[in-house]
Amino acid sequence: MLVSDFHFDLPEELIAQSPPEIRGSSRMLLFDRATGRYQDNYFRNLPQILQPGDLLILNDSRVLPSRIYATRARSQQTQQSSPDPSGRIEVLLTQQLTDNEWTALVRPSKKIQPGERLVFHAPDEAKPLLEAQVLAASEFGERTLRFSPVPDFLDVLNKIGHMPLPPYIHREDSETDRDRYQTVFSQHSGSAAAPTAGLHFTPEIIAQLKQNGIQIETITLHVGLGTFQPVRAKKLEDIRLHSEHYTLPPATATAINTAVGEGRRIIAAGTTTTRTLEHCALTSAGNVLTPHSGETSIFISPGHKFKIVGGLLTNFHLPESTLLMLVSAFAGSQIGKELIKAAYVHAIQEKYRFFSYGDCMLLL
């Protein structure tokens, strides 16, 4: 199967550039996997659409303000406290390796090579708040950075960092994004992008779900570099994803084992949750999940046999993306790709909003 098999044409105006005015007001396309039929609905109706006894799993990873701007240390004597933006080095932290080492995407990357030192300022402050050395260079602008220790790295990021909005959002991030590009249930900082299916939830909708008998548990998967890198392979069999760190908590492992044993449906909120659960199922002993943390680079494409996930809430994805391949796999092993293409054509005709800040789709 070819990556180009997952292409579709999307009008630029349907790419959501900002969140809906009210969180939770998004449209939701219902997709019936048994029939391939779909119908228009709204996310606010999710508590009535799911069934009592369903187990809903959310990804509680929290997005870091991980886009930061640097200048080169060797030219500091020529820099003012507010350097010319055209001379900025953009650094997007994508994964923490150790206490002080990170992988990052750097732009422009060609002139930033191993041995280079970067400094990071707060606005209107002459003294840098962070310094980093470039340890290694990889393809496509990837770099490994080692930061000089600071008492509270996350606090510094909150001062100088920007929310890492995806490249298809053609504007600078704003203070509003600090709230809206974050799920209301986020707990554990570490993601370089939001688990966007979770952006639709509000405390009120979560409370109503629980009141209606839907059990809710969480996993943590820190979204990493793969979110920002386009697929460069031509064949699905040649696709390799970057590894991402995940945690399966004790309460969630117990809840899943119980639900599976009782034949209850397990709904994954997002492709990140789906990938985590299916990875855990493939690596578990005796089909019983145990709480643990680890790394996953699982790539789910048509033909995958889902072991845990029985329902999927997801946003509308980029053409030729691994996320679209996952959704196609969930829609059906043989004709899922064509069914999802038809559903996407309908969504385009009905002017659904696409991608991170867009509307969503529920496959049951």
pLDDT at 78: 43
Structure tokens at 269: 């909120």
The number of helices, as runs of H, and strands, as runs of E, in the chain is 8, 17
| Residues facing 67 on adjacent strands | 92, 162
**Cβ proximity of 352 and 316 under 8 Å:** yes
pLDDT at 188: 97
Longest CA–CA separation in the chain, Å: 68
Single-letter residue type at 308 = I
Side-chain half-sphere of 284: how many Cα atoms within 13 Å? Answer: 19
Distance (Å, rounded) from C-alpha 284 to C-alpha 261? 15
Structure tokens at 230: 């386009």
Distance (Å, rounded) from C-alpha 332 to C-alpha 66? 36
Task: Transcribe 293-347 into DSSP letters.
Answer: EEEE-----TT---SS--EEEEE---TT-HHHHHHHHHH-TTTHHHHHHHHHHHH
DSSP 199: G
In the chain the domains, ranked by start, together with CATH numbers, are: 3-63+178-363 (3.40.1780.10), 67-160 (2.40.10.240)
DSSP 183: -
CA 129 to each of CA 103, 121, 122, 178, 326: distance values in angstroms, whole numbers, following the listed order: 19, 6, 7, 21, 41
Q: Is the peptide bond before 47 cis (omega within 30 degrees of 0)?
A: no
pLDDT at 139: 80
pLDDT at 74: 62
pLDDT at 87: 67
Helix (H, G, I), strand (E, B) or coil at 133: strand
Structure tokens at 14: 């349907």
Tens-digit pLDDT profile for residues 74-92: 654 444 434 434 468 999 9
> Would the CA dihedral through 115, 147, 168, 232 be positive or negative?
positive
pLDDT at 227: 67
**Cβ proximity of 272 and 221 under 8 Å:** yes
* E strand segments, the chain: 27-31, 38-42, 55-59, 61-63, 67-72, 89-96, 101-107, 117-120, 130-137, 142-147, 188-191, 215-221, 244-248, 266-269, 292-296, 311-315, 360-363
pLDDT at 360: 98
Residues of the chain with pLDDT under 70: 74-87, 227-228
**Cβ proximity of 38 and 31 under 8 Å:** yes
- What H or E segment, with its residue span, contains residue 4? none
| Entry pTM | 0.93
Tens-digit pLDDT profile for residues 272-282: 999 999 999 99
pLDDT at 162: 96
pLDDT at 55: 98
Q: How far is CA 276 from its chain centroid?
A: 12
pLDDT at 228: 66
